[in-house]
Amino acid sequence: MADIKTLVEAQRTYFLAGNTLDIEARLDALTKLRHAIVEYEDRIIEAVRRDMGRSDVETYFNEIYLNLEEAEHAIRHLRQWMEPKHEKTPNLFFMADSELHAEPYGVTLIISAWNYPLLQLFSPLIGALAAGNTAILKPASESVHCSRIAKELISKIFSPELVAVVEGTSEITTQLLEEKFDYIFFTGSPRVGRIIQTAAARNLTPVTLELGGKSPAIVDARADIELAAKRIVWCKLSNAGQLCITVDHAYVHASIKDAFIAACRRWILEFYGEDPSASEDYGFLINHKNFDRVISYLGSGTIVHGGRHDRARRYIEPTILDDVPEDAPVMQDEIFGPILPILSFDSLDALLARQRTKEKPLALYLFTKDKESQAKVLRTTSSGGVTINDCMSHCGTPYLPFGGVGNSGMGGYHGKHSFDTFTHFKAVMIAPTAKMLDFSVKYPPYAGKRNTLHRLSKFHLL
């Protein structure tokens, strides 16, 4: 506890001394982080493999490439982001200048989940550093090897007064939340997100909560069945289903459901072979607790593909469930595993009406060639983000914000949106000093001046 308090105080002292304000200091920090990620590529890939068995290509793209792109994007655009922004000034403040000045919050806390542990640490860190903050990083204890790599990498390139990694269980997180931070960024479950927000409220600390939820895919009668199946299977089984924006379940039009299931089975075989347990491209669950939870869902429907599992290896075969009722256990909580429930629908309108009664998901996926259906889904549903005729694309760009809404979170980041998240935009007005522009109508005594205000407002001069 004392060490955490000392660390927070040291970072606050470092920040208040102005060490993070200059653009050169920020660019230096971003460049160091970028170079370190490149240097640690092989060690990052090995750490993720040991924690989750994920393939090197998946890890390179998600934990390395996306972070490098994020850092490079910030380095290229930071000078522009930091410049004061001139805004319009109303007639009431004639001849004054209105501006927005970007200023950092101060000492930030970034808490990551275990499923993409380095992406969820370093991507928001890039935003925090670009905006001129210090940061304390709390990696998830479940991904132990990735946590160690994060600490080693950060300790090598940054002084703890600027960036530090604090390892440990949820007890350490609780201790961290007892300190006063200027901004908290959390990635994890809605349950823990509520705890984070409650703790932040004690100090009126603003938060970004990147949570999760049951993100559906809708496959209507006018979809390209093979393409939809290919992309949904790829998304669902990435990281063995342990992904906050994965397809949790699929609603498929009744007229194409059988063809869709057959296509999914073909793509599973194409991607991972007859025995996915022997595939270098297919991983395992993070721990036995999550393994047991996911296995409990196998009885929620008819297994039409997969179902085999090995607890000793935390392995669950890619599994498709048919005949799944809406009230089945697998439909109540986020699955976070390689089980794909498939439910059929006849009416898109009825399906969307039912979807609107549920918690808002982090992502929603729609597969259709029908423009009217696309417009209807976008108009009548709410989710953190949407990808049409693909999966996850909306969160892989620095030009769109990534984040949730309602139960799936609040706030967004990536690219300029990361800089904005960790920035307070201070409203600044610079008034003229010429006495001839210092209108007497605003000063007492006010007797007889209301009629003057009426005349001015009539001509929109106020």
The per-residue pLDDT string of the chain (462 residues; one tens digit each, 9 = 90 and over) reads 459 999 999 999 999 999 999 999 999 999 999 999 999 999 999 999 999 999 999 999 999 999 999 999 999 999 999 999 999 998 878 889 999 999 999 999 999 999 999 999 999 999 999 999 999 999 999 999 999 999 999 999 999 999 999 999 999 999 999 999 999 999 999 999 999 999 999 999 999 999 999 999 999 999 999 999 999 999 999 999 999 999 999 999 999 999 999 999 999 999 999 999 999 999 999 999 999 999 999 999 999 999 999 999 999 999 999 999 999 999 999 999 999 999 999 999 999 999 999 999 999 999 999 999 999 999 999 999 999 999 999 999 999 999 999 999 999 999 999 999 999 999 999 999 887 777 788 889 989 888 888 887 776 655
Establish whether 235 is a catalytic residue. Answer: no
Which residues have a Cβ under 8 Å from the Cβ of 48 and sit 6 or more positions away?
54, 59, 63, 117, 118, 143, 145, 146
> In this structure, which amino acid lies at residue 258?
D
User: Which one of 210, 317, 391, 395 is the catalytic residue?
Assistant: 210
CA dihedral 331, 299, 231, 252 (to 10 degrees): -60
Torsion of CA 277, 280, 285, 287, to 10 degrees: 100
Domains of the chain by start residue, with CATH: 2-211+412-424 (3.40.605.10), 216-403 (3.40.309.10)
Q: Active site includes 244?
A: yes
Q: Considering 235, 244, 264, 395, which one is annotated as catalytic?
A: 244
Strand pairing partners for 185? 110, 208
Packing angle of the helix pair 2-16, 170-177 (nearest 10 deg): 50
Q: Phi-psi category of 83—alpha, beta or left, where left has phi over 0 and alpha has psi -120 to 50?
A: beta
